[in-house]
Amino acid sequence: MQNYKREFIGFMVQSNVLKFGDFTLKSGRRSPFFMNAGAYVTGEQLQKLGRYYAQAIHDNFGDGFDVVFGPAYKGIPLSVVTAIAYHELYGKEVCYCSDRKETKDHGADKGQLLGAELHDGDRVVIVEDVTTSGKSIDETYPKLKDAADVEVRGLVVSLDRMEVGKGGRLTAQQEIQERYGFPVASIVSMSEVVEALGGTVITPELKDAIDKYYARYGVEGGAGSSDAGRQPQASR
């Protein structure tokens, strides 16, 4: 595991973004862990967050993109801090763009998007906090293609939860890949979280709860990311 991944896992815990316990998700599932990217609220946290996203984009897509796109609402600050961090780390000037939930019908920046104007041929990387159903991509992908004939290079999320998606066969990330044809990467996977925190934050009791959760909601034999198709395992 790269150092920045291990650092990011500790950063999520320290920022109270990644929590462990007993949580009821919007899906109705009871989960022993929960992620809330809305807990990143300080300037220092946002600066660090942008750098982690920039490193993940560089690892997965290199410099082959022009625009960082963040779906509203949490994706708006994500796209801004990631564009800044990418320039700082790699010296490449990239633009940010985000969508609005409602179309603005007045002013110089009217329309569905804010930030950079998209042009035919622009190469776009989408950034999100986490994806559980792919709903935000279903809403924003048509907006991107309506704005210009862009090429979506891929999607980067903070955490791959590694659990079954709506179709009951693949993870949510794999479903997006299958539906839209672009790769989906994560800064870290839940498998890496368990590896990094096993024996410390993740106690044997908590590890047992995580194992039971994935026995019920994990994906077996899935294709896609290197972590797909196996339950998170703690290092020994």
Q: Copy the structure tokens of residue 39.
A: 């807990």
From 104, 119, 135, 145, active-site residue: 104
Closest CA to 124 of 158, 91, 102, 147: 147
* Residue 143 to residues 48, 111, 116, 132, 158, Cα–Cα distance (Å): 29, 11, 14, 20, 23
From 5, 26, 87, 106, active-site residue: 106
Reported as type and span, the H/E element at residue 207 is helix 204-217
Q: Measure the CA–CA gap between 93 and 227, rounded to whole angstroms.
A: 32
| Max CA separation in the chain (angstroms) | 59
To the query of whether residue 104 is one of the catalytic residues in this protein, the response is yes
To the query of whether residue 92 is one of the catalytic residues in this protein, the response is no
Could you give the residue numbers annotated as active site?
Answer: 104, 106
